[in-house]
Structure 1
Amino acid sequence: MSNLAIKQSACTINVQFYGSELYVINHNGEPYTPMKPIVDGMGMDWASQFTKLKSRFAKGVVEITIPTAGGIQKMICLALRKLAAWLNTISPNKVRPEIRERVIRYQEECDDVLYEYWTKGQVTNPRKSQEKKTKTTSDDRTPLRDAVNMLVSKKHLLYPEAYAMIHQYFEVESIEDLTMEQLPLAVEYVHKLALEGELLPRESVFVPAPVEANSQYGNRVLLYLDANGTVIGSLPLREDQIMLSFNDFVELARRKGLIVMPRDELASKITSLLA
């Protein structure tokens, strides 16, 4: 047995995993992991998973008393060598949509991370290392802030609401956590939010400045300007497309003798037609 293994056999290893506290503990010379923190971290029901553990993994399940942040606790633990098998019993397609990504993340990484902590005392996450190398600067994020300004203006949102959409979509706590690779995707995402419900085809793709003519669309281009009047992007328009403000659209409907609906209802119907 190596010196590292001897040292670890006398203690519980605390592992931070996507905001959850997991553990690896020695039991008779073999690594075990408490299962309730894993089940809770995945967002699943503990009672049903406990039943599965007792019926299908009985030979690998033991109750161990371990020290936690809340004090000494008895916890149901599974042999680490059995963890991958248990993870594979869960079908991501059968869990609630809101926890599906978490379940897949645990299936892909959890057993490897815990094993590395047990054998090496630490784990190297290549993705996190790469993210540190590609963090953005304030200047890099200027186009994203400009896009958020446009979204807030067009959709009458509060800034916290607009930024919360970005945080949720990219699973970050701040736009400062976005990588250089994610930044242009975030700008594109915000522009799509701003264009949602406009009288434009959904297949139109935002084209960043400088403006270039495209034979497919002709020579008409919609320009996007920042607060200083600088062109920050463009959207080519086909010859059969028209641009109208919402009020102009309603006025045109009135002049043509069409039925005019309440603004919210009409906007909802237009959005559903474009979806």
Structure 2
Amino acid sequence: MQTQIIPVPFYEDTLLMIGKDNEPMVAMKPIVENMGLDWGAQQIKLSEKFGSVSAIIPSTGGDGKTYNMICLPLRKLPAWLYSINPSKVKPELREKVIRYQEECDDALWNYWTQGTATRPGTMTVADRLRVHRARHEVINKLVDTTHAFKRQALYEELTEISTLLGYAAPALAVLGSTEPDEPAVMTEFWDAIEELNNLGIKTNHARDTSIIAININEVVRLAQENKIPLPNRQEIRRNIHLSKYNSYLINTVVNSAIAGKSMKCYIFKALGNGTIEA
């Protein structure tokens, strides 16, 4: 009884598999020749070492002709593959021999059981669509994010996703921008206020917990009294509108929650870590 040959794609090659009594058999000559090995020498090895399990199967090819093929059960293919020492083949064949040893039997088994052979690391169409959607989401987040650390983390994620798809990640500079860093003067300013707060000295005159009201003259005086480093008030006033830790809003008079009277204060939206108390 003749059996139809099943062609199986494997990288740039085509392997031939044949079903016999519900067991997958592999035509050996195509594999040997695809790997660049000598068929005559391997035919002898098959006869001597695998004669008890190999079979000559008459099969009908796509041209309608009948061929006698020396076949091995798929379960025995790894034993033959690993009987080949890659270090003893021509250097130009070494990489391909190793590829066959590592992937060939899995590809054939997947084709036999699932009807498809997928190279390791290759995604299905559905997988690629999901990864494309994830890539677009990360790109959108990058465009909308100005925080430097978050942007770097998102860019590393985008690079990894792009690599999965075989794409190069676009330059970070074209995907939005990073907000300017907090000026050093303002970093020292907020650090000094936090130190005062840690000493139990209140500096926030706001009654509304969503804002911070600071009287600069008072903060400078308190910092000097407690020997806390602080830039001079002129430098603070020149940079205060650039504050990022707590963003600057306006300079106005407030009813102080500390002194119980009107005081001229610089007002900030509370975006920091919440350590400044009313």
Q: TM bucket by the smaller chain?
A: 0.3 to 0.5
TM-score, normalised by the number of residues in structure 1: 0.43
The structure number with the bigger radius of gyration is 2
TM-score, normalised by the number of residues in structure 2: 0.43
